[in-house]
Amino acid sequence: MTKYQAVGIGNAVVDVISQCDDAFLARMAIDKGVMQLIETERAEFLYENMTDRRQMPGGSVANTIAGLGALGLSTGFIGRVSDDDLGRYYAAAMAEVGTDFVNPPRGDGALPTSRSMIFVSPDGERSMNTYLGISTELDDADVPEAVAGQAELLFLEGYLFDKPKGKAAFQAAARAARAGGGKAGITLSDPFCVNRHRDDFRGLLRELDYVIGNEHEWCALYETEDLGSALEQAASESGLIVCTRSGHDVVLVQGDETVTVPVHRVTPVDTTGAGDQFAAGLLYGLATGQPLAVAGRMGCIAAAEVIGHYGARPEADVKALFAAEGLI
């Protein structure tokens, strides 16, 4: 039986990235800097208008798990793809980076594999247009108890809460992980997701060991503009609370302990995956028994690396970057 140091559960999405200018965004009626959900016809139209496309496996938690695999942890990912070109590509690409994609592509004539078209403007801002496809059909039958139950760390994606069956898969995985002695946590995903599922998320916090969100997500969760108050409430209800603040210091709160980790600001090439790789660095630190301050700094280093190039997954040896700062 494989014992995984980290297992993710989330949307399996193929990222298609293209550079563009603001005039192109306006011409294509794309809202700059946000994620929009689109239907099949719109997806095909935008794909046809992309130039110099780069394709890679994506999905928020999948990116984090791939980052952890690149750092040397044993990793697995629970998600759903179709038995089509993109689905087969996705499964093979995850395996290439050392992550077990535990659900075989489905050949039952279901929805196509999910994809996100990401338009990167000269200032590094990314505008995402996502076709959800089959990934949102994930349900509890897709969660192998032998995988989730053997995870030391389980990382869950808030976007899964958009459908009851995704929520059921999420809860089944979390229960199996904690029953097996592992720790389960979540990324809040985005403020709109939080607003849609506030009551569910608030209830879930009490059952989780760690929760990662940015300042906007935490304030949305507690319906306040006072970030300090939101984090104080969260810390009283859950385990480790992590708050990123878009280039400013990261705050980690666990019980009575509060740690502030400085961020060394860099000029971004592409901000795609910054939060995903921050989570990878942070979770690597937690998995290897580092103090909160060190784990937080590892998250910042991993995020800085990924925004220095196009794409949501690391290109440099992030572990070597940790060593260069004396963290390992």
Q: How far apart are CA 328 and CA 320, in angstroms?
A: 9
**What's 142's DSSP letter?**
G
The β-bridge partners of 117 are 16, 129
Instruction: Tokens for 148, please give them.
Output: 């989730």
Q: Supply the pLDDT for residue 44.
A: 83
Q: What residue has token string 């995984």?
A: 4
The 10 Å Cβ neighbour count of residue 47 is: 15
| Residues of the chain below pLDDT 50 | none
Q: With contact defined as beta carbons under 8 Å apart, do 247 and 307 qualify?
A: no
What single DSSP character describes residue 311?
Answer: S
Residue type, 198: R
Q: What is the pLDDT of residue 1?
A: 53
